[in-house]
Structure 1
């Protein structure tokens, strides 16, 4: 597949992301202040930078685990079929769990994953997404915490990729194809 040429226009600065994560971490700490250890589950691959920055801001005992789900592959559109490529290493029954997602688009992935994890009987199960595109929602799902609500744009950076590129950008940027019109 030949990739169309594109540029990335900055939408959300690294500084704005850091400030929002600091505020979100305070809300999460209040919610889980009575836990002995919070299991923070990152959805790979897009959430890896977000989860790293988030757990560094938490003044709680945390255990980090990862789950890999896929509904995009190298495409710009969700296939709506959620596949679990890597499951958790440890059990979550009776434990407090926070699922960390990079972006909620159609809602299929986070809805599927939280349903699957809820069936494992955690004590509490909450979710956080760095980005939310409510205009694209196809299932009735909203994360408990949202970093930023964004319009229906294809975005990259801060762990989010386009065909495995641009994850390393320190900001969230909008993909703009240079061969349009």
Structure 2
């Protein structure tokens, strides 16, 4: 779906498909340099990271393994409490593995901080993070992120895997959702 198909639902287009693909290529060159000669396990965080993971995996010029996790943090309202439930766990053994968590967006950092510690505790040799988007203003905890695509304002964004009520995930770009849609 094109951003123009839902232009009335967006206040602003942040990134086009071309800008996203260029950034993913840039991230992949850095990942390839850091993991040259290594076999890295990409761990995608469902559901939002599906698009990022697919494009990252296709762009990488190294052998990789892929696995998926689904986690949910819950608390009062829509705010993450940092208390995490694993909804779908990994199928891979992490002992001695170099793991790269692939995320669509880092908001508060609470869930991602927990996830990184959890994977390290499973015996991974290393655990790094690659995120397409980060909202620095929304951070509640500092998370060391090795590969960051774009820093964005603290706005409600959709597209390229990011959703509102399961809509907009299939947009080819990323835009700011108009408040009248979710208010």
TM exceeding 0.5: yes
Q: Which residue of 2 aligns with 1:69?
A: 71
Unaligned runs of 5+ residues in structure 1 are 1-5
* TM-score, normalised via structure 2 length: 0.88
Q: Which residue of 2 aligns with 1:127?
A: 129
Asked if the contact 2:73/2:82 (under 8 Å) is kept, the reply is: yes
Q: Which residue of 2 aligns with 1:3?
A: none
Matched residue SS, 2:20: helix
- Residues 120-157 of structure 1 show CA distances to partners (whole Å, capped at 9, x for unaligned) of 12122111111000111111213111110000000010
Unaligned runs of 5+ residues in structure 2 are 1-7
Residues 1:14 and 1:91: Cα distance change in structure 2 (over 3 Å): same
Aligned ranges for residues 31-180 of structure 1 at < 5 Å? 31-35=34-38, 37-71=39-73, 77-178=79-180
- Residues 17-53 of structure 1 show CA distances to partners (whole Å, capped at 9, x for unaligned) of 0000000000000111031x21100000000000000
| RMSD, matched Cα | 1.9
**Counterparts of 1:76 and 1:156 in 2: how far apart (Å)?**
16
Larger helix share, 1 or 2: 2
**Paired residue for 2:29, among 18, 21, 26?**
26
Shift of 1:164: 0.8
Matched residue SS, 1:178: helix
**Counterparts of 1:57 and 1:169 in 2: how far apart (Å)?**
20
After TM superposition, what 4+ stretches of structure 1 lie above 6 angstroms from structure 2? none
Matched residue SS, 1:69: strand
Matched residue SS, 2:118: helix
* TM-score, normalised via structure 1 length: 0.89
